[in-house]
Amino acid sequence: MSRPLLTVILAAGKGTRMRSALPKVLHRIAGRSMLGHVLALAEGVGGGKRAVVIGPGMDDVRAEVQSAASGAAVFVQENQLGTANAVLAARDAIASHTGDLLVLFADTPLITPETIGKLRAELDRGAQVAVLGFEAREPGSYGRLVTGADGALEAIREAKDASAAELQIRLCNSGVMAFRLDQPLAVLDKIGNANAKGEFYLTDAIEIVRAGGGRAGVVVCDEDEVLGVNARGELAQAEAIWQRRARQRVMAEGVTLIAPESVWLSFDTVLGQDVVIEPNVFFGLGVTVDAGAEIKANSYLEGARIGAGARVGPFARLRSGTVLGRDVRVGNFVEIKNSSLGEGAKANHLSYLGDGAVGAKANIGAGTIFCNYDGFFKHKTEIGDGAFVGSNSALVAPVKIGAGAYIGSGSVITKDVAADALALERSAQDERPGWAQKFRIVMARRKASLRK
């Protein structure tokens, strides 16, 4: 598999069954577009050249290619006349390439690098073309793989063109193909459109290669792996398959998922050894959890870094820019955004910490709010090591609380507080003896008079 690889990714489909303003291939699985998943696969299986074929006017798809794989070339299929026509849209990339050619589909995002490795190994065994097939539970409209007594592939027959006997075949075509040809364009240009739909089928390359004395091989994978996404139901099915794989992977790497089916991961989630995740936890993009941390039930995390031994939740929300140090404690109904908490710091109850920095072993009392936004700009709150912020405090940024300082409960702090100082901001307590009893008597008389 040391031969150079060109991967052509077909992404020109309109996806009308998705019923969406968003192109089909940009719909996301685990936080990454389907096209992004396939681009990453192509990078992982060879790191060679990548060419993406899009439809006219698909500027957002082009932008996704440039974002996810800046080195990939983009070609436009002006008229959608079949898969061979789509591959030939990348004619310039194919003509300038010497090596293997791999054809993938941007709406088939679940294929693994191991399977592509098997496909290329089939080329190493002497096949000029290798096709990825699967045993279909319901073959229906899938193209059938017609094999000979020796197991070699003889033809791929589209369902509309298949005979009654061929329709009984359960081995079906995924569309994914790999070629090892000296002149792939010479084969592709021979493909005609004499079929029921009048389209140029890439699958016809099999018979052309065989007619020239070449061999075609088949690699079989699980049907779930080649699920093509054309509608919302299939998108949900693909998400479920991806999540199931990811959960199994992280558990094999030493993560405890107490209720695996209730934990949702993103494609870039990183979980360290001995991390424990309770039920109903959602990981958005950009989350890293270091070894030994615990994420308690019903928490939502995105764009956060969680240090070793930290404990988060239950019912916590960590937003982008959150950095928790070692052994930090973040409790129920605490929301943190763009803030760091130093080693051993605590925010255990009902707080909002936005645009701040909390020092090591500082304590944030229940109901504390970082008042970070003045309606126009965001401002920062800084709390020193070992500081204690009493319950129900509002810290109006920009403000600094010195190391070891105490903030009295119920205070609204608008000025910096020196280290080791006590800051209180409260009205004087006014107590009136006997007032409550007199009030109850007056109100009872008034209520009785209203009944008369």
Pairing label, strands 329-332, 335-337? unpaired
Q: CA 331 to CA 334: how far, in whole Å?
A: 6
Structural tokens at position 435 = 């007032």
97 a catalytic residue = no
Q: What's the order of all strands across the beta sheet hosting 304-306? A: 270-271, 288-289, 304-306, 322-324, 340-341, 356-358, 381-383, 399-401
Q: CA 110 to CA 132: how far, in whole Å?
A: 13
Q: CB-based contacts of 10: which residues, under 8 Å, 6+ apart? A: 53, 83, 86, 87, 103, 104, 105, 106
* Closest to 11 (Cα-Cα) out of 49, 41, 53, 74: 53
Contact (CB, 8 A) for 67 and 52: no
* Closest to 424 (Cα-Cα) out of 412, 442, 416: 412
Identify any residues that bridge with 216 across adjacent strands, giving them in sequence order.
Answer: 129
The amino acid occupying position 152 is A
Backbone angles phi, psi at 98, to 5 degrees: -120, 115
* Closest to 96 (Cα-Cα) out of 31, 51, 37, 152: 51
Return contacts of 195-199, CB within 8 angstroms, 24+ apart. Answer: 195/158, 195/160, 195/161, 196/158, 196/160, 196/161, 197/82, 197/158, 197/160, 199/81, 199/82, 199/83, 199/85
* Closest to 266 (Cα-Cα) out of 101, 29, 440: 29
- The residue annotated as part of the active site, out of 27, 37, 97, 349, is 349
Burial status of residue 276 (CB atoms within 10 A of its CB: 0-12, 13-18, 19 or more): middle
Annotated catalytic sites, by residue? 349
